[in-house]
Amino acid sequence: MCGALARVEDGKVTRIDPNPAHPASRGAFCVKGVRGLAEVTYGPKRLLHPLRRVGERGSNRWEEVTWEVALDAIADGFSKARTTHGPLCLAGAVGGAFFSRGAIVALLLRAMGSPNFLINQDLCGGCRGVSDMVTGLAIQSGEDVEHANTVLIVGANPHAANPVQWTRIKEAKARGAKIVVLDPLRSEAAKIADLWLRPRPGTDAAIAMAMMQVLVEDGRQDSAFIENWTRGFDELAERIRGWTPERASEVSGVPADLIRAAARAYADGPSSFVSGHGIDAVTNGVQTFRAFHCLVAISGNLDRRGGNRRAKRPKGFKTYLDLLHDPAFQLPADVARETLGAGRFPLWAGPGGWQTACHNPTVIDAILTGEPYPVRALFVSGVNIAVTYPNSQRTIEALRSLDFLVVAAHSMNPTAALADIVLPKTTTLEEEDISINAHAPCITWTAALADRVGEARPDVEIAAGILARMAARGEADRTFLPWSTQREFNSFLTKDTGLDLDEIARVGYGEFAHTHGDFASQVFRTPSGKVELWSQRMADAGLDPLPDYVPTGASGASSERYPFTLQTGLREKTYHHSRFREQAWARKVSPDPLLKIHPQTAQGLGIVEGDWVRVETPDGRGACRLKASVTEATEPGIVATGMGWWLPEAEGPEYGALDININAALSYSGPYDPASGSADTRGVPCRIVVAAKAQPVV
């Protein structure tokens, strides 16, 4: 999504620089773009040819095969499972519908008769996504920090996770905008904040409710917007009445005066709400986001300069998410309803769900138990789920027990190591992609700049190869995925726009006008056609139609045995999730998985900087080994780590995924957010034992 300029020599990208002209990133960039991508593409670990397993599953013995042989084997494997158990036994796994592979893999599965595809968004931005959908806001990535008077940053660490946004925030600070940060950790944003609120993990909704209470008590709500464009303000007003800053203070531990000050700073708009993973991927994530989303709406900051823009697009442009909901690409309703998890989480899984995907833990269960029906064959592309789903032990067990597993990847990893067939994927340097970049807003064009290394192929070509074979057997309907090349697919997405693809490809982006506040022409996609402070869709799903603070499922489980609180997912500049772990420069900068621990807590446990410790949680199957980093950035009793660790040089098939990966210490068995199905990946009780003392410094 960041504008880049690449030098191409003899079909090879030899240099990557930021593109200062790109309207979204304007020259901001990160080291992963400069180094990581090129090394993934040209590094020695790159998968060059399709591989077929020759030994036991996971024995890491492979033979190179041609694409013909690999695709025939995949068609055989899928067909066999499908004939024995029916089409629903096929599933796919991707990151989500933000990139082309998300839509391609979903449509590949639909073409073969299965609605089942897994996304990792329940662990990522899924709570935001569901709240955005049920309230009708549609403000993902539309933060207009540049023109904001106040920037409210909640549970986000843009310093590491979003350098482009971090640049804008520092510029805003420099021109005198107020920065208000909610974060239990002293993040880089907290360091530059005018107001830093330090809530107990998982209690932000209480603060949001109180901020609304103060706003309304001060009479600073946007009455015209509320009157014209929202539903349920009276019910919301009734709900927030009891949420005084004093009550929110009891819940969150943040002084009431500070909550009042934050509310008043936010009321001095325009104010931009910047949110992140810190309040997502937890069991109260949807309610927490709804509280903040309602704050954005009633304060008049929706789709206003300096506030939060709504997602827009050139007329006729189809996004990947549109495609998943497009009536032309739907399975019969009775089949779609069978999507795993749709019964329990209708706002998440199946046709009424945000991305129409499955509920992942329900799929893992189905693989291992055959209930509610068996899942026997899986196509994985662009995700490393053995590392990135909680309870790695169980994910690995499920992958091992499949009849057939195909993994498309760039290099061997703990997920691919368990496959029957591994397919070499093209990288971003070799692919052509077109997406809406809500940060600018503009269209971002990713050019296929380089010659493909080895025999790598993009998802659409892989899917077309599989479907041609399945269709020849009468086991697939190609109308779900009629494209064979990325250019065909991209032309389809843009054909009704009148956009000149060649011109966009030449420049690398295409800006389009954003009209603020066009509420009459771009309607809210809710049952009432208004912003639903009181949500009909939540009510229909049997859930609380109003936002509220509810404790997370994990918050009640702390005990003498598990006295500390574990935070996971802190981003590092060097890595993207589990990626780039094979790259020497990245490992040099970030050599070890760290556990941030307060000096007082460390002292109580006899831990010093550099000790290796083991972290365990009440419902986790195993432990995770981490290196202690003693720091006052965190509070006593709260420990924080990253995610995505494995070691390409360690022994396969796990490559360290059951040793230094935090998901080896977490459970994926619930409780879940009742709307998004998210499990708690933060705020989880834990205990810590010393595994190995640091070597004394001589």
Ligand X SMILES: Nc1nc2c(c(=O)[nH]1)N[C@H]1C(S)=C(S)[C@@H](COP(=O)(O)OP(=O)(O)OC[C@H]3O[C@@H](n4cnc5c(=O)[nH]c(N)nc54)[C@H](O)[C@@H]3O)O[C@H]1N2
> Which residues inside 452-481 make contact with ligand X, applying CB under 6 A?
459
Interface with ligand X, residue 598, by CB under 6 A: no
Interacting partner of 446 out of Mo ion, ligand X, none (Cβ under 5 to 8 A depending on kind): none
Q: Least separation, in Å, of the C-beta of 98 and Mo ion?
A: 9
Which CB atom, from 124 or from 449, has the smaller least distance to Mo ion?
124
Q: Least separation, in Å, of the C-beta of 335 and ligand X?
A: 26
Q: Least separation, in Å, of the C-beta of 639 and Mo ion?
A: 21
Please state, in angstroms and rounded to a whole number, the distance separating the CA atoms of residues 671 and 282. 10
> Which two three-digit tokens encode residue 478?
């190609």
Give the number of residues in contact with Mo ion, rule: CB under 5 A. 1
Interface with ligand X, residue 168, by CB under 6 A: no
DSSP 128-184: HHHHHHHHT---TT-B-GGG-SEEEEES--HHHH-HHHHHHHHHHHHTT-EEEEE-S
> Which residues inside 97-136 make contact with ligand X, applying CB under 6 A?
101, 120, 123-125
- Report whether 499 contacts 460 (CB < 8 A): no
Sequence-ordered list of residues with C-beta below 8 angstroms from that of 376, at least 6 positions apart, any chain: 81, 84, 85, 89, 90, 367, 402, 403, 404
Candidates 77-85, 116-124, 327-335, 382-390; binding stretch for Mo ion (CB under 5 A): 116-124
**Binding-site member from 106, 161, 406, 463 for ligand X (CB under 6 A):** 161
Interacting partner of 295 out of ligand X, Mo ion, none (Cβ under 5 to 8 A depending on kind): none
**Binding-site member from 124, 297, 324, 434 for Mo ion (CB under 5 A):** 124
> Which residues inside 205-224 make contact with Mo ion, applying CB under 5 A?
none
**Binding-site member from 570, 613, 630, 660 for ligand X (CB under 6 A):** 570
Our CA dihedral for 147, 149, 152, 156, rounded to 10 degrees, sits at 40
Give, for 240, the enclosing helix (H) or strand (E).
helix 233-241
Please state, in angstroms and rounded to a whole number, the distance separating the CA atoms of residues 459 and 430. 12
DSSP 243-300: --HHHHHHHH---HHHHHHHHHHHHSSSEEEEE-GGGSSSTTHHHHHHHHHHHHHHTT
- Indicate the DSSP class of residue 347: T
Candidates 122-130, 136-144, 250-258, 417-425; binding stretch for Mo ion (CB under 5 A): 122-130
| Residue with token string 């013909």 | 68
Q: Least separation, in Å, of the C-beta of 123 and Mo ion?
A: 7
Which CB atom, from 88 or from 182, has the smaller least distance to ligand X?
182
Which CB atom, from 89 or from 161, has the smaller least distance to Mo ion?
161
Please state, in angstroms and rounded to a whole number, the distance separating the CA atoms of residues 427 and 437. 20
- Report whether 231 contacts 136 (CB < 8 A): no
Residues comprising the chain, all counted: 698
Q: Least separation, in Å, of the C-beta of 120 and ligand X?
A: 4
Interface with ligand X, residue 674, by CB under 6 A: no
> Which two three-digit tokens encode residue 548?
């509220």
| Residue with token string 């070691």 | 647
> Which two three-digit tokens encode residue 262?
């934050």
DSSP 534-584: S-HHHHHTTS-SS------SGGGG--SSS-EEEE-----TT-BTTBTTT-H
Please state, in angstroms and rounded to a whole number, the distance separating the CA atoms of residues 252 and 264. 18
Candidates 210-218, 227-235, 570-578, 602-610; binding stretch for ligand X (CB under 6 A): 570-578
Candidates 8-16, 321-329, 407-415, 668-676; binding stretch for ligand X (CB under 6 A): 407-415
Q: Least separation, in Å, of the C-beta of 407 and ligand X?
A: 7
Our CA dihedral for 328, 364, 550, 192, rounded to 10 degrees, sits at -80
> Residue number with the shortest CB distance to Mo ion?
124
Candidates 129-137, 290-298, 376-384, 534-542; binding stretch for ligand X (CB under 6 A): 376-384
Candidates 154-162, 355-363, 621-629, 652-660; binding stretch for ligand X (CB under 6 A): 154-162
**Binding-site member from 360, 428, 486, 617 for ligand X (CB under 6 A):** 428
Interacting partner of 459 out of Mo ion, ligand X, none (Cβ under 5 to 8 A depending on kind): ligand X
Which CB atom, from 221 or from 446, has the smaller least distance to ligand X?
446
- Indicate the DSSP class of residue 34: I
Q: Least separation, in Å, of the C-beta of 334 and ligand X?
A: 31
Please state, in angstroms and rounded to a whole number, the distance separating the CA atoms of residues 16 and 145. 27
Site string for ligand X, 260-299 (x = CB under 6 A): ----------------xxxx--------------------
Interface with ligand X, residue 567, by CB under 6 A: yes
Candidates 118-126, 140-148, 180-188, 317-325; binding stretch for Mo ion (CB under 5 A): 118-126
Sign of CA dihedral 661, 662, 668, 674: negative
**Binding-site member from 116, 131, 486, 663 for ligand X (CB under 6 A):** 663
Interacting partner of 184 out of Mo ion, ligand X, none (Cβ under 5 to 8 A depending on kind): ligand X
Sequence-ordered list of residues with C-beta below 8 angstroms from that of 285, at least 6 positions apart, any chain: 126, 127, 128, 279, 673, 676, 678
Q: Least separation, in Å, of the C-beta of 124 and Mo ion?
A: 3
Interface with ligand X, residue 410, by CB under 6 A: yes
Which CB atom, from 140 or from 536, has the smaller least distance to ligand X?
140
Candidates 240-248, 383-391, 508-516, 671-679; binding stretch for ligand X (CB under 6 A): 383-391
**Binding-site member from 95, 269, 306, 685 for ligand X (CB under 6 A):** 95
Which among 267, 209, 201 has a CA at the least distance from the CA of 242? 209
> Which two three-digit tokens encode residue 229?
């464009």
Query: Which backbone phi and psi does 218 adopt, to 5 degrees?
Result: -75, -5
**Binding-site member from 119, 185, 210, 607 for ligand X (CB under 6 A):** 185
Interacting partner of 155 out of Mo ion, ligand X, none (Cβ under 5 to 8 A depending on kind): ligand X
Please state, in angstroms and rounded to a whole number, the distance separating the CA atoms of residues 317 and 519. 19
Q: Least separation, in Å, of the C-beta of 445 and Mo ion?
A: 23
Q: Least separation, in Å, of the C-beta of 386 and Mo ion?
A: 17
**Binding-site member from 103, 378, 409, 460 for ligand X (CB under 6 A):** 409
**Most distant CA pair in the chain, distance:** 71
Among left, alpha and beta (phi > 0; psi -120 to 50; other), residue 610 is left
Please state, in angstroms and rounded to a whole number, the distance separating the CA atoms of residues 239 and 251. 16
**Binding-site member from 33, 87, 184, 341 for ligand X (CB under 6 A):** 184
Interacting partner of 388 out of Mo ion, ligand X, none (Cβ under 5 to 8 A depending on kind): ligand X
Binding site for Mo ion (CB under 5 A): 124
> In the complex, which residues of this chain contact ligand X (CB under 6 A)?
95, 101, 120, 123-125, 154-158, 160-162, 182-185, 187, 199, 201-202, 204, 276-279, 381-385, 388, 390, 408-410, 413, 425, 428, 459, 567-573, 575-579, 643-644, 662-663, 666, 681-683
